[in-house]
Amino acid sequence: MALNWYPGHMHKASKEVVKTLLKTQAVIEVLDARSPQASSNPHFAALCADHPRIRILNKADLAEPFVTEQWAKFFNAQPKSVCLVNGHESLLDAEQIIQAARKLFLANDIKIGERQQLLIGGIPNVGKSTLLNIFCARKLAKTGNEPAVTQIQQRVRLDDHWHLIDTPGLMWPKLEDQVGAYRLAATGTIRSTAVEAEDIAWFLAQELLLHYRDRLVARFELPQDANDAESVMEAVAKARACIKAGHRIDWHKASEALLNEFRSGKLGRFSLERPPT
């Protein structure tokens, strides 16, 4: 099934971003550390192409540390770019954001004025609102497990000289990279009502089988000779008692179990993408 998700409010929000960028000195792009490439909105990146960019690899506690480090090096090597990492083990604060912006400005000969405005953006459910609340040490933005919680821009004060414009989570009209789209769905970016849990879980099962077989064996007692997604889902169903009357597997329940354990981190730390070499 081809995946796509572009609610009407996102088109309007994209137009607002264009206006806001005219008064913005730098852009913060929040990415999911498990899938930095898939979670980077190409339309947002194009809009911000002329602005210095701070990329934040968020939810790093759910990704493999070594792979996240590789991604940070990759993004730090890009023009007009600084990359920061955020996770429960090492939370960013407002001062680190300001210092990263100063570093960018100095490296690119950009004058630091009396008042500076940053714009923060990212796809839905990447953890942007949670980051904002951490930066300001108080609850400013609604957070939730379902994507598209924030739907309007809001202005946030970091200190006397630096302000942040929060934007709604934005997707793009057509998800041409369907492998990337399925990775986004696996991490919870696409609203659950817009996808079939079974499709996403079977995709995830195949990805994990390919790169993390040992984890599946340990977690779900996956047979050593298992070689396809169906075998993984059968193991999940048995391990989590997803069985209907007549000893039939409840595929939907098993799918929800796998997705929930992956998204919550109960399965461990996984990276679905590696940086280009």
Binding residues for GTP: 58-61, 125-130, 169
Binding site: residue ranges? 58-61, 125-130, 169
Distance CA 5, CA 241 (A): 32
What does the chain come to in residues? 277
Is the CB of residue 58 less than 8 Å from the CB of residue 143?
Answer: no
Three-class HEC string of the chain: CCCCCCCHHHHHHHHHHHHHHCCCCEEEEEEECCCCCCCCCHHHHHHCCCCCEEEEEECHHHCCHHHHHHHHHHHHCCCCEEEEECECCECCCHHHHHHHHHHHHHHCCCCCCCCEEEEEEECCCCCHHHHHHHHCCCCCCCCCCCCCCCCCCEEEECCCCEEEEECCCCCCCCCCCHHHHHHHHHHCCCCHHHCCHHHHHHHHHHHHHHHCHHHHHHHHCCCCCCCCHHHHHHHHHHHCCCEECCCEECHHHHHHHHHHHHHHCCCCCCCCCCCCC
Q: Which residue bears the tokens 């997707």?
A: 171
| 111: its two tokens | 């004058």
